[in-house]
A and B are shown apart, each in its own frame.
Chain A
Amino acid sequence: NAGVMQNPRHLVRRRGQEARLRCSPMKGHSHVYWYRQLPEEGLKFMVYLQKENIIDESGMPKERFSAEFPKEGPSILRIQQVVRGDSAAYFCASSPHRDSTENTIYFGEGSWLTVV
């Protein structure tokens, strides 16, 4: 049973370009969470999605960031017009159940974005 799959693992973008990060949840999981980890910091919640729905995007920056989880295919975190401050590790996690305060979540290997 494959775990949470993320790609690319490493991505380099110039300032002003777009970054697209993809996440396929574990088999049987329909709930996806995106987290960002800035260098030397903890993980910060960004967004929670189910298929075709954004459930909670309270942690997403208001501009340039968007996320989707289409009916078919992986969840995508999109960052437009990247800036150096977007350089971070972006982790996706999934769970099998609807969101609750007691769900165990399973992290992917992460996507490391470097903006030059």
Chain B
Amino acid sequence: GENVEQHPSTLSVQEGDSAVIKCTYSDSASNYFPWYKQELGKRPQLIIDIRSNVGEKKDQRIAVTLNKTAKHFSLHITETQPEDSAVYFCAIGGGKSTFGDGTTLTVKP
């Protein structure tokens, strides 16, 4: 089945710095790659997604890049703020998705 590896598991940055989280996957048939933000005790919220016909997508301070040849995709958060602190999950596919194990991001004021 599909396998997703997410790195790093924890990430601490100073407010205003950038944060990058990377995921690698094994199934070359995947065409949809969402990223979720989950705050403690809350549901995963979709923050950005990318489909395989696009190499990069940006939404304000958040961007995702996809390299299908190398089978990896990354989340980039610029000008981080304390409210960005949360657990971030990458996933492969929609509907029946395979999730990474998560990255705990801490933004220090």
Contacts and interface: CB of A to CB of B under 8 A. Distances in A.
A43 B89 contact: yes
B7 to A, nearest CB: 13
Contact size range, B: 20 to 34
Given A42-B99, A42-B101, A44-B99, A109 B94 contact: no
Interface residues of A, number: 24
B95 interface: yes
A101 B49 contact: no
Nearest to A9: B41
Given A42-B89, A43-B44, A109-B43, A101 B30 contact: yes
A103 to B, nearest CB: 4
Contacts of A42: 6, 89, 99-102
Interface majority SS on B: helix, strand, loop or mixed? loop
A48 B101 CA distance: 21
Contacts of B61: none
A103 B97 CA distance: 10
Given A42-B99, A43-B99, A100 B43 contact: no
Contacts of B30: 101
A108 interface: yes
Nearest to B92: A101
Given A42-B89, A42-B99, A42-B100, A107 B44 contact: yes
Given A41-B101, A43-B89, A102-B31, A48 B96 contact: yes
Please name the 8 residue pairs, one residue from A and one from B, whose CB atoms are nearest each other, closest first. Answer: A103-B94, A42-B99, A102-B32, A99-B95, A107-B43, A103-B95, A43-B99, A101-B93
